[in-house]
Amino acid sequence: MAKSEELKVAFPMIANYNDVVRYFVEVGMNQTYIRQPKMTRRTMKLGAKYAPDMVCTPFKTILGSMIEALEAGADTLIMVFGYCRLGYYGELAERILRDLGYEFNYINMADYTTGKYKDYLKALKKINPKAKKIGMMKAGLEALKMMQNIDAIEEYYYQNLGFCEDPVKYKSIYTRFMHDMHKAKNSEDINEGYNKALEAFQSIPVHKGELPLKVAVLGEYFTVMDEFSNFNLEQDLAMMGVEVHRWMNVTHRNLHYPGEKNLHPRIQEYCQYEMGPTSSANIWYAKECAEKGFDGIIHVKSAGCTPEIDIMPVLSRISSDFKIPILYLTYDAQDGDAGFQTRLEAFYDMIEMRKKVNI
């Protein structure tokens, strides 16, 4: 495939999905992908320094990540879109970055989110006008397969880590899988990396007993999936000996989402109207896990996330109706996670004692 102009493309760091974008840009668009450094406190401080104070935390993280991508040599930024205020943040981020003196091409996906194929194609043509549709479609499908594999491996890892005989080896398998996705250049690499990781996981004995502690983690789309933003919540919880379940990921929410019309009948006693981009799904999932006898729920949100603030009274009703404890965690640009760790340990002690009493 030919390129009309050499671009160095970057995308903000979001959970473990950057290699999905990297794969599509390199294989489908024949352009160079710039991977910025893994997010650190510096990333958050950069974003918090230049972002408006009252903006929600994911914007600060994304802005900091974009600055680090430009520092790493990117000349083209792709801005994610969303169904909440995130849909408006693209323009704000661009203005801030240009005011800081950066020069770059900018593809704000919110400008092309019309639901029409031709408009998405316009966005992709800005990356490489000479890219062929068939090549983009093939790479797109392979990238989607990578994304589903990443979500499946994450689910498997966090549901079994706390009960396996060798957690260190388990972690190394997980890390190796992510490295394999980082290096993948074709569909064979994607499938081989997934199968190899799953086979390696299954070779390590897991001892859960009859009634393992089960906790559902739900909440705001970005923070609940991004381990940097939530201080490795799922890892810490799993290492305490908890089977961690999280429905919210891109595969479930964006590829196989049942839709508001299908979800609302299931939660009509709690919610009759659409409350936000992830609200119906989170209410449904909380009720679903409560009905299945989970031992607890952790609700994760960023500071200033209005839709997730709105569903907290609904979650409290579910907690009362099903006698299931809920821990509410709100994340902002904090410097440390000590307070979160203390609350998480106290929550674990409480659900563990309840489990022993109720058996």
Per domain, the residue ranges of the chain are 8-128, 144-159+165-205, 209-358
CA-to-CA distance for 148 and 17, rounded, in angstroms?
Answer: 10
| CATH topology agreement for domains 8-128 and 209-358 | yes
pLDDT tens, position by position, for the chain (359 residues)? 455 679 999 999 989 999 999 999 999 999 999 999 999 999 999 999 999 988 888 999 999 999 999 999 999 999 987 777 777 889 999 999 999 999 999 999 888 877 777 888 888 888 999 988 899 999 999 999 999 999 999 999 999 999 999 999 999 999 999 999 999 999 999 999 999 999 999 999 999 988 999 999 999 999 999 999 999 999 999 999 999 999 999 999 988 888 777 788 889 999 888 777 888 999 999 999 999 999 999 999 998 888 899 999 999 999 999 999 999 999 987 667 888 999 999 999 999 999 888 76
User: What was the pLDDT predicted at 81?
Assistant: 77
Domain 209-358 carries which CATH code? 3.40.50.11900
Kindly report the CATH class assigned to 8-128: alpha beta
User: What was the pLDDT predicted at 4?
Assistant: 62
